[in-house]
């Protein structure tokens, strides 16, 4: 280069042209290097970041499905990684040997069936076993058979099986929720599901339900036993936390196993507590009483003439346990007098009765997180006879949960809290509360409920020490368009402890039969009530309720103890 410049300097005019050409060439090279340099910087500095983001995005494109746990974190539903083993039969050198090794590693695989699959001519793919455990996968992988491999799949499992299956629901083959909370997580509760996911990590916090598995089990156990004992066709029950509206337990029997491969369930297995509507019968009297107290139609000393059946048009309303005398308000309640309650509703007035039922939500569909809910069945026209029968729970049908929720609201100082399956604090519940009756009305209703358990139809649920209160109901079911005396729905709605109600309980038995042991009776007092008593005795300590005893209680206990001692030797 040095020499060239010297020459060009000597030559004169051509020098200039040559120099320009070199400059141009130099500029081109400089641009080229700059481009390469820029590219290098882009690739080395920018690109890795892009790659990383793309990698993260791949995992984040779907929000991971959250686990479902009960209020104490016990797993109800979770995703597990499973491997599915498959084979390419063309690549297996010795099928007989492979079958022998595989059936030794997987004891539940049928060897003959596997051999037939692998010996099928011209086949390039065959499942050996789908959804195997990691141990099985490793065992097969370590056999090292050519042509045998696995793919990873995700599977939703329900470790608790049937327990709480109606609440949790289930998913289809593509892990899309099709029932219960599982469906809620995908549809109505999509925002809730998204709130559980942590965008920084690929994990989602579990969905915490309000259920308590121990209580759930006790309910399933006792109601199952009752169904068997009274030869009922089904049954169910709910425990509701009165102050927060949390559903601590919801049982509907017969239930189903959500782990079943084929999810074909019969109508009988539906959720009776939400998807079924029932005429709840006398338990609805509690609502009528609360209404009459609240509008000032009655007070504790009012009297009702129950000597003769109530005649409206060509309909006659009679009492099941006919007393044929003038009853006071507490007596109307404890004797469950239809005549008295119907008169109460009529005195309050058609308009106000309807308005009150609307206010407490019995005329509308109750929506919770579990999507399978039924609309109430209501009379088309509101007349005197409709009002009179609705007063004692006939002629309109609601979800059992609706009935319990309203009673819980009445007992909770008149504050109705919408029931929920998701864990909720007292403060959150306070915001949602709606005043349906005055606190003084609530006070009176508590007295009546307790009275009915100490000396009324619910006495068999009065577990000594836990101050239970409740109302029974036996409704005749409509069979082929007529009320049938042989097809009954017996129910109990109660709460404990009655001096400061914490938990409301509903127990329902569908078509219980009379037994010799129950002296031929098939009314709620003989089946649903003792079942509720057994449940309360088992769950009250779990729920942290402290027993308290009065003098009378202690005497009763002493007597019981004596009886037991006599029995033993």
Catalytic residue among 103, 249, 252, 282: 282
Closest CA to 529 of 234, 237, 213: 237
The alpha carbon of residue 512 and the mean position of all alpha carbons in its chain are separated, in whole angstroms, by: 25
Q: Which two tokens stand for residue 76?
A: 């109800």
User: In the chain, count of helices (H) and strands (E)?
Assistant: 20, 18
- CA dihedral 215→217→222→225, nearest 10 degrees, is 170
**Alpha-carbon span 382 to 476, nearest angstrom:** 21
In the bound state with other proteins, the residue whose beta carbon lies nearer, of 249 and 402, is 249
Positions touching other proteins (CB under 8 A) are 2, 44, 48, 67, 74-76, 78-81, 134, 157, 159-161, 163, 203, 213-214, 216-218, 220-221, 463-466, 537-538, 540-541, 546-547, 549, 557
Q: State in angstroms the smallest separation of the CB of 541 from other proteins.
A: 5
Q: What share of the chain is helix, strand, coil (3-state, %, to 5)?
A: 45, 20, 35
Q: Give, in order, the Cα–Cα distances in Å from 220 to each of 110, 165, 317, 370, 373.
A: 37, 11, 36, 19, 21
**Which residues 6+ apart lie within 8 Å of 467 measured at CB?**
450, 496, 497, 498, 499, 548
Q: State in angstroms the smallest separation of the CB of 253 from other proteins.
A: 14
Q: Which two tokens stand for residue 257?
A: 């196993």
In the bound state with other proteins, the residue whose beta carbon lies nearer, of 79 and 355, is 79
Tokens 């000594």 — which residue? 464
In the bound state with other proteins, the residue whose beta carbon lies nearer, of 211 and 284, is 211
In the bound state with other proteins, the residue whose beta carbon lies nearer, of 53 and 484, is 53
Look up 440 and say whether it is catalytic.
no
Q: State in angstroms the smallest separation of the CB of 523 from other proteins.
A: 26
In the bound state with other proteins, the residue whose beta carbon lies nearer, of 136 and 331, is 136
The set of long-range contacts for 455-458, using a CB threshold of 8 Å and a minimum separation of 24, is 455/334, 456/333, 456/334, 456/335, 456/336, 457/334, 457/336, 457/523, 457/524, 457/525, 457/529, 458/492, 458/494, 458/525, 458/529
In the bound state with other proteins, the residue whose beta carbon lies nearer, of 137 and 444, is 137
Q: State in angstroms the smallest separation of the CB of 495 from other proteins.
A: 16
Q: State in angstroms the smallest separation of the CB of 259 from other proteins.
A: 10
**Is residue 516 within 8 Å of residue 525, measured between CB atoms?**
no
In the bound state with other proteins, the residue whose beta carbon lies nearer, of 9 and 557, is 557
Q: State in angstroms the smallest separation of the CB of 458 from other proteins.
A: 17
**Alpha-carbon span 503 to 212, nearest angstrom:** 13
Q: State in angstroms the smallest separation of the CB of 85 from other proteins.
A: 17
**Alpha-carbon span 356 to 336, nearest angstrom:** 21
Q: Which two tokens stand for residue 185?
A: 């997580």
Residues noted as catalytic: 282
């Amino acid at each position: 280069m040095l020499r060239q410049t010297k020459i060009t300097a000597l030559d004169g005019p051509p020098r200039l042209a040559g120099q320009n050409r070199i400059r141009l060439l130099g500029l081109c090279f400089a641009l080229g290097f700059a481009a390469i340099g820029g590219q290098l910087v882009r690739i080395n500095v920018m690109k890795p970041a892009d790659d990383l983001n793309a990698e993260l995005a791949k995992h984040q494109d779907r929000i991971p499905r959250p686990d479902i746990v009960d209020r104490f974190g016990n797993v109800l539903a979770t995703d597990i990684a499973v491997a599915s083993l498959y084979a390419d039969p063309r690549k297996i050198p010795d099928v007989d040997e492979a079958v022998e090794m595989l059936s030794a590693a997987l004891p539940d695989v049928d060897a003959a069936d596997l051999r037939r699959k692998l010996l099928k001519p011209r086949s390039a793919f065959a499942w050996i076993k789908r959804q195997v455990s990691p141990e099985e996968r490793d065992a097969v992988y370590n056999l090292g058979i050519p042509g045998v491999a696995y793919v990873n799949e995700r599977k939703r499992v329900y470790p608790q099986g049937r327990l709480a299956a109606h609440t949790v629901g289930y998913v289809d083959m593509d892990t899309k929720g099709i029932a219960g909370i599982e469906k809620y997580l995908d549809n109505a509760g999509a925002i809730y599901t998204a709130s559980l996911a942590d965008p920084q990590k690929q994990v989602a916090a579990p969905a915490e339900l309000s259920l308590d598995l121990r209580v759930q089990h006790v309910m399933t156990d006792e109601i199952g036993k009752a169904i068997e004992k009274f030869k009922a066709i089904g049954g169910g029950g709910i425990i509701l936390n009165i102050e927060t509206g949390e559903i601590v337990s919801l049982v509907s029997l017969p239930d189903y196993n959500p782990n079943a491969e084929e999810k074909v369930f019969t109508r009988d297995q539906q959720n009776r507590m939400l998807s079924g509507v029932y005429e709840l019968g006398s338990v609805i009297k509690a609502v009528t009483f609360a209404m009459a107290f609240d509008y000032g139609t009655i007070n504790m000393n009012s009297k009702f003439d129950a000597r003769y059946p109530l005649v409206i048009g060509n309909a006659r309303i009679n009492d099941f346990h006919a007393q044929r005398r003038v009853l006071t308000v507490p007596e109307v309640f404890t004797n469950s007098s239809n005549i008295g309650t119907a008169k109460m509703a009529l005195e309050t007035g058609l308009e106000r009765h309807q308005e009150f039922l609307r206010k407490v939500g019995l005329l509308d569909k109750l929506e919770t997180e579990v999507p399978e809910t039924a609309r109430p069945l209501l009379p088309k026209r509101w007349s005197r006879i409709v009002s009179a029968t609705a007063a004692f729970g006939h002629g309109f049908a609601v979800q059992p949960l609706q009935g319990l929720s309203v009673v819980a609201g009445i007992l909770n100082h008149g504050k109705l809290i919408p029931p929920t399956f998701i864990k909720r604090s007292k403060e959150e519940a306070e915001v949602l509360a709606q005043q349906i009756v005055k606190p003084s009305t609530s006070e009176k209703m508590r007295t009546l409920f307790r009275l009915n358990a100490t000396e009324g139809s619910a006495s068999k649920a009065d577990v000594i020490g836990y101050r239970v209160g409740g109302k029974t109901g036996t409704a005749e079911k409509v069979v082929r368009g007529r009320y049938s005396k042989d097809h009954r729905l017996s129910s109990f709605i109660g709460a404990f402890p009655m001096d400061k109600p914490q938990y409301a309980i509903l127990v329902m038995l569908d078509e219980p039969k009379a037994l010799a042991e129950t002296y031929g009776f098939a009314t709620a007092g003989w089946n649903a009530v003792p079942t509720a008593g057994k449940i309360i005795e088992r769950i009250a300590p779990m729920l942290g309720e402290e027993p308290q005893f009065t003098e009378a209680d202690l005497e009763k206990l002493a007597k019981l103890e004596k009886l037991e001692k006599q029995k033993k030797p």
